[in-house]
Chains A and B, each alone.
Chain A
Amino acid sequence: MNIPKDLYYTESHEWVRVEDGVAYVGITDYAQDSLGEIVFIELPEENDQLTQFSEFAAIESVKAASDLNAPLSGVVLAINEELEDNPELLNEDPYENWIIKIEIEDDTEINKLLNAEEYANVCE
């Protein structure tokens, strides 16, 4: 299972990359492998206000629908529109294909996220 060292993670299998006050959010390799073929994603809209650990999008595999949870609070700066037509990109390269960008509201929330080692234990 691929778990890059330079990212933060949630227990619900989202990853976060922090760059200059902006958080890129996606799903982990473990998540895409557990879900199987991803066939649909329902994204939030730009400027939506997200709350840490609250549901912000839905992702659907052939078999089932699952919620995605926001790793951090903040406003949605951008969504990856390419995923609407090609949701399978999340299976092909889950770390390259971010889902949304968030403007980080409160840096201290990062302390509540998991590092790669902690997240690896969640996936055991």
Chain B
Amino acid sequence: MKKTILHEDHIRLGAKMVEFAGYDMPIRYTSITEEHLAVRQKAGIFDVSHMGEIYVIGKEATELVDFLFTNNVRSMTAKQVLYGMMCYENGGVVDDLLVYKYNDQHYLLVVNASNVEKDYAWIRSQNRFDAEVINKSEAISEVALQGPLAESMLQKATETNLSELTFFTFDEITVFGYPCLVSRTGYTGEDGFEIYGEHEAIRSIFNRLLEENDALLPCGLGCRDTLRFEVALPLYGNELSPEITPVEAGLNFAISFDKSDFIGLPVLRQQKDQKPTRRIVGLELLGKGILRHGYEVYHEDQNVGVITTGYIAPSTNESVALALIDKPYDKKHQELEVAIRNKRVKVKVRNKKFYDKKYHK
């Protein structure tokens, strides 16, 4: 199993470790709820060094990235970050990712850990442009500093004025003297930063931020999932997959339908115009229990969908889920049933935003 540069630190901090995407990663240090609430109320720091970093560099870098990416790359300004997907011809998702634009000939694509090899092969297979594709995932570490106190904590470690680093932009700055790429992005619904750098730099930054900030908790993958779930951010493998399109997942905001071309565009455009036959909605359990990924959803005897992620939301204590539901059973207040073990329990369709995002815009 692979280890990140912070592996020894996780053990020293008492983390429970699990295998994730081929890495031995911390699932929690204390409890998922405590770490979750720390990020909502103060700040948490995550080791996300397992994420993939793929560079696209060359004269036609813009053309290649624009051809692969659902969102509008040509409208990006330098030092902007954009969220979107790479799709197959049939509209299914290769991966969801962040695109970082340095300039017209230089992009960084940050992809899911479990998809690095697949994405790298996919991008290269579609590369009929004058551009080079370089997988730097093994050379780069990353931490995410998230929560309402993130800015004040990071500000003490850099001379750059962070209030000027706005939502979904990045800059190359120094943190505790180490050169890093820092973006105002995250996967928690809170304000925060993602910090990329060389292994030892990231290790020093992680440990110094923890030493110098009593209110900062190390946070594991357990609360990373509950945090993104509460604000309805999709997870590849749950809400997104080769079998689910971004239109069905409710991600039209990350698709530029008026672009002239990108892989999957005709199918996505057709789905948008004719309305998809199913979509991701929120469900609320009307009774006791917890809805889990993979549980089937029924209307009377008819299977009308499946739970993609479910938890007792730590911020609200509600037993809720994201689910992929067939039309016309996707309307708000629709009552349905979910099979939990051998029992059927009642659920109700509701807004999937279980908690309001609090970004710095």
Contact = CB atoms under 8 A, between A and B. Distances in A.
Given A36-B222, A39-B312, A42-B341, A62 B32 contact: yes
A64 B292 contact: yes
B16 interface: yes
A50 B253 CA distance: 53
A42 B222 contact: no
Interface string B291-309: 0100000000000000000
Given A36-B28, A36-B222, A62 B292 contact: no
Contact of A36 (B16, B288, B290): B16
Interface residues of A, number: 12
Nearest to A63: B222
B190 to A, nearest CB: 19
B27 A63 contact: yes
Determine chain B's interface SS by DSSP, over half rule.
mixed
A60 B290 contact: yes
A91 to B, nearest CB: 9
A62 B311 contact: yes
Greatest chain B CB density within 10 A among A34, A36, A42, A62 is at A62
A62 B289 contact: no
Interface residues of B, number: 16
B31 interface: yes
Contacts of B341: 42, 58
B32 A37 contact: yes
B242 interface: no
A65 interface: yes
Nearest to A61: B32
Interface string B332-343: 000000000100
B314 interface: yes
B200 to A, nearest CB: 31
A30 interface: no
